[in-house]
Amino acid sequence: MAPPTFKDANFPLSDGRTYHVGTKYGEVANRIITVGDAYRARNIASHLDPIPKPYEFTSKRQFFTITGRFKGVPVSIVAIGMGLAVTDMFIRECRAVVSGEMVVIRFGSCGSVDRTRGQIGQIVVADASVCVSRNHDYFFGHVPSFVPPAAPLGAPYVFSKSVPADPTLASLLESRLSAVLGPESVCRGLNASTDYFYPSQGRNDPHFDDSNTSLIDDLCKQYPNMLFFEMENYLLFHMALCSQRRTIKGPQESHDGVSSSFPQGNLRAAAAAMVFAQRASNGFVTPGM
């Protein structure tokens, strides 16, 4: 089969299909659940109505989309992999093939940084998210062969301001999860999305100078309600914020009352995650827990 021909370097499309996610108009619903891996996507998709049979598409970049109906309501589940860059591709490329308001919920796995809340196996719901990024320039000063930059090196990690989840969606997520799993299994707090899994989450690696031994303490000092690390939510919430700063809107579609409190916005987002790692106790989830 001939390779697809993409047109428009600014936003490449081939026969209406996006460059990385690979879907086109009609293949993605306005309500999206996003996850990291395809296995989790299939698990969630097992709850979709069997008829009509859900549509599935795996792109050449391994974005995996399943679109079907849940109790008659169209919903897509999209597995995107990991990190901020793929989150950006996922949101922009789905946004381009969906009209009307778009609602995105992320179900991830995460590491808890709180000693008492966010135990392994619990579900945490994000009130808001902070971005933790590695300041690459900082490390130049530690390597003698590099010319130190003229500007101050600053701190090794940068903590952004926090950006809120959609408050209505976050509360709905918390209450529905609590109703199903029991309130003791769900807690809510602040999330930090990191640009890397190892250095920016304060993991120790003897092979590299990461200057991160105090990162978790520093972050919790600056943000006392800090609860968990993962790698995508910040961008999701930030893009929702940026979408609400735009006036371009497609034809509005009903979201059963969910849309009513944000008439201006064209993307709304919230996120929950299961705690896989407890950083204070150094515990990690085991299958079947």
Which residues here bind ligand R1P, judged by CB under 6 A?
Answer: 35-36, 82, 108-109, 197, 230-232
Half-sphere exposure of 42 (CA within 13 A, CB side): 5
User: Rounded CA gap, 134 and 160, in Å?
Assistant: 11
Q: How far is the CB of 100 from ligand R1P (least distance, A)?
A: 26
Taking Cα atoms as reference points, which of 288, 243, 280, 252 lies closest to residue 112? 280
Indicate the residue among 105 and 231 with the shorter CB distance to ligand R1P: 231
Give min distance, CB of 233 to ligand R1P, in A: 8
Segments in the chain forming alpha helices (H): 38-45, 84-95, 167-181, 215-222, 233-244
Q: Minimal distance in Å, beta carbon 73 to ligand R1P? A: 23
* Strand 283-284 versus strand 186-194 pairing type: unpaired
Encoded amino acid at 209, one letter: D
Q: Answer for the pair 71, 82: CB distance below 8 angstroms, yes or no.
A: no
Q: Shortest distance, CB of residue 82 to ligand R1P, whole angstroms?
A: 3
Question: Nearer to ligand R1P by C-beta: 228 or 262?
Answer: 228
Q: Is the CB of residue 274 less than 8 Å from the CB of residue 110? A: yes
**Between residues 61 and 142, which has the closer beta carbon with respect to ligand R1P?**
61
Task: Reply yes or no: is the peptide bond before residue 156 cis, omega within 30 of 0.
Answer: no
For ligand R1P, the closer CB: 123 or 262: 123
Q: How far is the CB of 271 from ligand R1P (least distance, A)?
A: 10
Q: Per DSSP, what are the bridge partners of residue 110?
A: 275
Provide the token pair at 187. Answer: 């807690």
How far apart, in whole angstroms, are the C-alpha atoms of residue 273 and residue 6? 36
- Smallest Cα–Cα separation from 141: which of 211, 45, 80, 245? 211
Measured from the CB atom, the residue of 6 and 197 that comes closer to ligand R1P is: 197
CB of 114 to ligand R1P, least distance (A): 17
Shortest Cβ distance from residue 63 to ligand R1P (Å)? 13
Give the residue with the Cβ less far from ligand R1P, 166 or 232: 232
Nearest residue to ligand R1P on Cβ basis: 36
